[in-house]
Amino acid sequence: MIATARRAIFLDRDGTLNHDSGYVHRWEDWRWLPGVPDALARFKAAGWLLVVVSNQSGIARGLFGEREMQALHARINAQLHPLGAAVDAWYHCPHLPEISGPCACRKPAPGLLLRAVREWDIDPAASWMIGDRLRDVQAGRAAGCRPILLRTGWGEKEAAGLARQVGPPIPVLPDLAAACAYILGQKP
C-alpha cells in the first residue's frame, strides 16, 4: 500500500487565531478572535491537519522563553481538545535578524512550513497557509501552499500590498471562519 501525503491548514498565530496585543506569551493575555475555535473544529472534522507557524521574536528579545511559549500552546490545546480542535503541531521562529542573525525559518522564508511538510508528510500543493500578514502569504507561496490573507490583525493594512504580489490572485477574507467556509467549499 502506498501512503499518500496529508493536507494541512498552516496558520499564523497572533492576529490570525488571537488578538495581537504584542508578544503574547501568557494565558492571561490570550484572547481568541471570534469564531476561531469553531473554525478549527470544522477543519479537523473535515480531516485537515492544523499546523501553527509563527514568528516569535520575543524570544530573541529576551521578553519570554521557550518554556513560557510551550506552556501557552499546551494551555491553548487543552482548551481546544474537548472541541476536537487541538492544533497538531506548533512551529515557531525564535529569531530576530538584528539580534540573532539571519535564519531560514523567519517568515517570509518558508523554513517552518518546509520543516512541517517533511516531519508530517504533508502535500504542500494540497494545503493552505492562512495569516494576517504579507509575510504569511509569501511563506505559503514559497512552500508551495495556497495562501489566504485575513483582514484580522494586520490584515486590513497589509491587503493593500497584495497589488504588488506576483502570481494568482490571493483570497482576502474577513476572518478564519470565512476562510474555513471558503476552503471547505472548494472542490477537491
Q: Which residue of the set 14, 132, 136, 175 is catalytic? A: 14
Alpha helices in the chain (DSSP H): 36-45, 57-60, 66-80, 97-100, 111-120, 134-143, 155-158, 176-184
Residue 108: all three cell numbers together: 517570509
- 121 part of the active site: no
- 14 part of the active site: yes
Residues in the chain: 188
Q: Are 103 and 64 in contact (CB under 8 A)?
A: no
Q: Are 66 and 91 in contact (CB under 8 A)?
A: no
CA distance 48 to 40: 9
Alpha helices in 81-133 (DSSP H): 97-100, 111-120
Residues forming the active site:
12, 14
